[in-house]
RNA sequence: UGGGGCGUGGCCAAGUGGUUAAGGCACCGGACUUUGACUCCGGCAUCGCAGGUUCGAAUCCUGCCGCCCCAGCCA
């Protein structure tokens, strides 16, 4: 996989220092999604970071499902996530579930209780909230905080046995109710979820460990050296360290936080993406307009382009919003290099070449790539009647318009030059057909003594193949759809995010396989849709266009 | 008004006291061109603000200002 190299970042520097100082002799990372939804481009940033770092330093990276909340999770998501990670080009060293550690986690909780570092609390959720205090006022200690070790042990065992109802009790860490960091105010370690059926452990458990307790221990059990997570967990780091400092942990991974990805013209939160799907604004999680990995894949993005994008945006602690242009540039660069060129007319306008013999068909050849002969060529069919795009003709225009005008001459890409002699209109004045003449001496060489205005693409009317083409644009019409506090993000949906046209494509495209990508010359990059039986092409991205208009 | 973070060109981002302040995207010129693409050449910042330390500061100190995160028995 030829790819742009990975720039350094503060996390890689930490790793290099740890390797240089001998703190670690090999590095081990992990990508720890909760299987409660589909992965999106933001997850890709984390995946590329974690797996990329492991790859570059000859280390390993695990895929671990953080499945401690049975209410929200489902097996469907674990399969989808595995597929997405693989598709991005990575293979995990180990595949784990936090639920694999439930028994060990339980024993570590017992250890905490025995050390007097955890207690069973009978406060209700609402009471806990009251006792917690506020950002500026310290909290109060739970009246159950000083139960004996024996009583705590007994109660915790009975929690596990299923003796108590959901919400009746929790196991809490005994830290400091006056801590300025809210996470240290005796956080919950275990809660009761009796009715739940866990996708991995079934009904084996009715108490479930919290993230803050599970994560550091899972990391330690797997020998993770650097536990990379996003900025919102910065405040949890003291708790992460507290847990490992107070149990007999095999090692103490270092948690390092980086900024999550924000992308313009889209939303990234699971909640909002779910709304887009459930409210019918898109067709599903893999709708080509979605920022999900599945959506990008169906749109036609390549794994390499997404990896490249993640490397281009870097890894820091400052949270910014990346322009769509960066993602688009990454896929354009990749596809420019590898996508075969084809011709497709998106808004067909009939052209009759009056001096071309009726019934005659000619086989022409077009290179698959203008700069890479090794990609070969494909056959084109030329005939008396062809289609060109309506946007490539104007009855009159100034010199800057490098397309066809009445009386003007243009080159038909990979074929002859034509001059428009006559415009045929219907009763309402709409242009329905152009009558042109061609110059038989211009195949593969320029006409003598004159210069054509430009080059336009075309497809034989006789041999062209009908196809549906879906022109995708950004999902939202403003850069930060969720930036407005008192307006729902749905207000900013782009009504033109999808335009479907009935196009005519060159014959060779009839053989395109689902997932095949092409450049439709002068239009953009397209990918044959993988979810349609018919010949449907999704526009991945337009070509860069430096033309001001005119 | 508690705590934790962040502030380098339009966007992302290198930079770790001595460099003309990398690079990418975008943008603006120009060359090339059977894709208004690609490619190629050129242009495009004094580092949130104000003080201070130093021969020398984006890099150190102080004080402001702005933005983000935290009061789930979510992750």
Instruction: Work out the average pLDDT over A452-477.
Output: 97
Could you tell me the residue ranges of all domains in chain A?
Answer: 102-212, 262-338+465-505+512-550, 342-464
Protein-contacted positions of strand B (CB under 7 Å): 1-8, 10-16, 22-28, 34-39, 68-75
Is pLDDT above 50 for A2? no
Burial environment of residue A266 by CB neighbours within 10 A (0 to 12, 13 to 18, 19 or more)? buried
Q: Three-state SS for A157? A: helix
- Which CATH number is correct for A102-212, 1.10.220.10, 3.40.640.10, 3.90.800.10, 3.40.50.1110? 3.90.800.10
Better-scored residue on pLDDT, A102 or A484: A102
Tens-place pLDDT, residues A487-516: 999 999 999 999 999 999 999 999 999 999
Q: Are A497 and A287 in contact (CB under 8 A)?
A: no
- Which CATH number is correct for A262-338+465-505+512-550, 2.40.30.20, 1.10.1160.10, 3.30.70.260, 3.30.390.10? 1.10.1160.10
Residue A5 banded pLDDT, cuts 50, 70, 90: confident
Alpha helices in A222-292 (DSSP H): 237-246, 270-278
Instruction: Work out the average pLDDT over A405-411.
Output: 97
pTM value surpassing 0.95:
yes
Q: Which nucleotide is nearest to A123 (CA to C1')?
A: B73
* DSSP line for A401-437: --SEEBT-EEEETTS-EEEEEEEEE-TTS-EEEEEEE
Instruction: Work out the average pLDDT over A4-24.
Output: 93
Q: How far is CA A533 from CA A146, A363, A468, A514, A536, in A?
A: 67, 29, 11, 9, 8
Q: Which nucleotide is nearest to A271 (CA to C1')?
A: B74
pLDDT at A150: 98
Residue A7 banded pLDDT, cuts 50, 70, 90: confident
User: One of A12, A30, A34, A341 is an active-site residue; which one?
Assistant: A34
**Residue ranges of E strands in A66-109:** 95-97
Tokens of A528: 């044959």
pLDDT at A549: 57
Protein residue at shortest CA distance from C1' of B67: A319
Q: Which nucleotide is nearest to A325 (CA to C1')?
A: B25
**Predicted complex ipTM exceeds 0.90:** yes
Question: Does domain A342-464 match CATH 2.40.240.10?
Answer: yes
Q: How far is CA A39 from CA A94, A155, A274, A390, A429, in A?
A: 19, 39, 12, 40, 51
Residue A485 banded pLDDT, cuts 50, 70, 90: confident
Longest dimension (CA), chain A: 102
Residue A1 banded pLDDT, cuts 50, 70, 90: very low
């Amino acid at each position: 996989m030829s790819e742009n190299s990975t720039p350094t970042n503060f996390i890689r520097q930490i790793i290099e220092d740890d390797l240089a100082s001998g703190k670690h002799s090999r590095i081990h990372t992990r990508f720890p999604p909760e299987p409660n939804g589909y992965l999106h481009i933001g997850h890709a940033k984390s995946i590329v970071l974690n797996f990329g770092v492991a790859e570059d330093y000859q280390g390993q990276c695990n895929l671990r499902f953080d499945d401690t909340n049975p209410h929200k999770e489902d097996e469907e998501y674990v399969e989808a996530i595995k597929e997405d990670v693989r598709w991005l080009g990575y293979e995990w060293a180990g595949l784990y579930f936090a639920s694999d550690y439930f028994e060990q986690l339980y024993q570590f909780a017992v250890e905490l209780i025995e050390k007097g570092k955890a207690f069973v609390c009978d406060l209700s959720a609402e009471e806990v909230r009251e006792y917690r205090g506020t950002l500026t006022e310290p909290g109060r200690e739970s009246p159950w905080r000083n139960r004996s070790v024996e009583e705590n042990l007994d109660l915790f065992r009975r929690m596990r046995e299923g003796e108590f109802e959901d919400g009746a009790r929790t196991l809490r860490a005994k830290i400091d109710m006056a801590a300025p960091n809210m996470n240290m105010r005796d956080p919950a370690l275990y809660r009761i979820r009796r009715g739940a059926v866990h996708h991995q452990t079934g009904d084996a458990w009715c108490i479930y460990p919290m993230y803050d307790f599970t994560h550091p221990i899972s990391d330690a059990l797997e020998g993770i050296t650097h536990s990379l997570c996003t900025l919102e967990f910065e405040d949890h780091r003291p708790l992460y360290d507290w847990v490992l400092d107070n149990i007999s942990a095999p090692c103490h991974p270092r948690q390092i936080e980086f900024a999550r990805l924000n992308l313009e013209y889209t939303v990234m939160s699971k909640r909002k993406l779910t709304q887009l799907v459930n409210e019918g604004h898109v067709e599903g999680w893999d709708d080509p307009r979605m920022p999900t990995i599945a959506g990008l894949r169906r749109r036609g993005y390549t794994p390499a382009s997404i990896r490249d994008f993640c490397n281009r945006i870097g890894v820091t602690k400052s949270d910014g919003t990346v322009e769509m242009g960066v993602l688009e540039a990454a896929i354009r660069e990749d596809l420019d290099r590898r996508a075969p060129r084809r011709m497709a007319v998106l808004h067909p306008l009939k052209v009759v070449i009056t001096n071309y013999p009726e019934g005659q068909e000619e086989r022409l050849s077009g290179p698959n790539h203008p700069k890479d002969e090794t990609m070969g060529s494909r056959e084109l069919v030329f005939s008396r009647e062809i289609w060109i795009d309506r946007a490539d003709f104007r009855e009159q225009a100034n010199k800057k318009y490098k397309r066809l005008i009445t009386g003007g001459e243009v080159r038909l890409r990979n074929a002859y030059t034509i001059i428009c002699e006559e415009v045929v209109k219907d009763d309402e004045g709409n242009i329905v057909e152009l009558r042109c003449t061609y110059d038989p001496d211009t195949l593969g060489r320029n006409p003598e003594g004159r210069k054509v205005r430009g080059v336009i693409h075309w497809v034989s009317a006789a041999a062209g193949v009908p196809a549906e083409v879906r022109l995708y644009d950004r999902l939202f019409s403003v850069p930060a759809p969720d930036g407005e506090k008192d307006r729902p993000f749905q207000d900013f949906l782009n009504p033109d995010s999808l335009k479907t046209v009935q196009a005519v494509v060159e014959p060779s495209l009839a053989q395109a396989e689902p997932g095949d990508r092409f450049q439709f010359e002068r239009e953009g990059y397209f990918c044959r849709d993988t979810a349609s039986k018919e010949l449907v092409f999704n526009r991945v991205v337009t070509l860069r266009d430096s033309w001001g208009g005119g």
